[in-house]
């Protein structure tokens, strides 16, 4: 009978299922992401809405054919998107899940409630991206790739997705460092990625917002006029307004510049202004060629900026 009892206990053990605790629930939520279809519809919808508004309320007159530029920029964006799909998405997604499971990173070392950890992760990702942007301008081996983004002779929503695919591959290393150092779970990571894309599309757009509205918005987020200054062909103007989301980082580091009239801004890089130099094949090859001096001499810049 004893052996039968033991056998019965073995065959029908008591339920060992663990009743989920709030911590378990939050752990599961942290591992979730913004659904891909939501992200895709939001990004595509934002792009077409901005494209429509740019036709209605342009901030700056077009220098090059809009259809030609947009087509070129979309082709570059397609190449970059395919590259990121094969590099950043699998690597960073896995790293973020590992960070969550092993509790790696600054935020994971703190006893933070879930509702506080998520916005802090998003804010810190935005801040560390500020420094990546600075590096792409200050480090010559990074600038040779980032210059492709700035060579565009006009600035609009299509410029926001015009990056050299190699720059994006290199940025995966920085992104991995961000996720591991901060301790970013999949949920805040996907929220940040979505907000970043919307923000970048918006502040690259060529929309003349009502000035009172823009003055209010720029206290918090990067706006079209603010980022237009960063895309100026004058280096003293380009070396400002590094923020991609919140403008607080430029205010914090003294790099905010808002006192440049839009009508005085020439978009682009002086060394690359002619038609063949902004063609798609040339843009893809520029980083691998001998680099020209990107900026005009200081004396020329002073003359241009004088009233």
Q: Block means of pLDDT (10 residues each) for the chain, length 307 residues?
A: 47 47 53 75 94 96 93 96 92 96 96 95 99 98 96 96 97 98 96 96 98 97 98 95 98 97 92 82 93 66 34
Predicted local confidence at residue 80, as pLDDT: 96
Task: Give pLDDT, residue 89.
Answer: 86
Q: What is the pLDDT of residue 6?
A: 46
pLDDT value of position 11: 45
Model pTM greater than 0.75? Answer: yes
* Contact status, residue 295 vs residue 270, Cβ threshold 8 Å: yes
Per-residue model confidence (pLDDT) at position 294: 80
- The predicted pLDDT at position 296 comes to 65
Q: What is residue 35's predicted lDDT score, i.e. its pLDDT?
A: 78
Long-range Cβ pairs for the range 257-261 (8 Å, 24+): 257/229, 258/218, 258/225, 258/226, 258/229, 260/229, 260/232
């Amino acid at each position: 009978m004893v052996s039968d009892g033991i056998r019965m206990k073995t065959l029908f053990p008591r339920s060992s299922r663990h009743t989920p605790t709030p911590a378990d629930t939050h752990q599961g939520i942290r591992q979730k992401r913004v659904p891909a279809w939501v992200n895709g519809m939001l990004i595509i919808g934002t792009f077409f809405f901005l494209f429509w508004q740019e036709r209605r309320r342009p901030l700056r007159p077009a220098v090059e054919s809009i259809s030609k530029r947009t087509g070129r920029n979309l082709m570059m964006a397609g190449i970059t998107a395919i590259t990121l799909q094969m590099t950043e998405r699998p690597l960073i997604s896995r790293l973020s899940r590992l960070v969550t499971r092993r509790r790696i990173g600054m935020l994971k070392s703190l006893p933070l409630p879930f509702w506080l950890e998520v916005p802090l992760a998003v804010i810190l990702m935005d801040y560390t991206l500020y420094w990546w942007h600075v590096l792409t301008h200050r480090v010559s081996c990074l600038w040779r790739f980032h210059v492709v983004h700035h060579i565009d002779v006009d600035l609009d929503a299509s410029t926001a997705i015009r990056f050299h695919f190699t720059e994006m591959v290199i940025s995966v290393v920085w992104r991995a460092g961000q996720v591991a150092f901060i301790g970013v779970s999949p949920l805040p990571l996907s929220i940040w990625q979505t907000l970043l894309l919307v923000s970048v599309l918006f502040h690259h757009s060529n929309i003349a917002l009502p000035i009172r509205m823009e003055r209010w918005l720029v206290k918090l987020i990067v706006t079209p006029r603010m980022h237009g200054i960063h895309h100026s062909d004058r280096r003293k103007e380009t070396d400002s307004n590094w923020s991609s989301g919140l403008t607080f980082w430029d205010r914090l580091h003294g790099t905010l510049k808002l006192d440049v009239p839009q009508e005085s801004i020439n978009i682009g890089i002086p060394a690359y202004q002619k038609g063949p130099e902004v063609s798609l094949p040339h843009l893809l090859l520029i980083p691998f060629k001998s680099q020209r001096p990107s900026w005009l001499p200081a004396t020329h810049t002073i003359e241009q900026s004088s009233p």
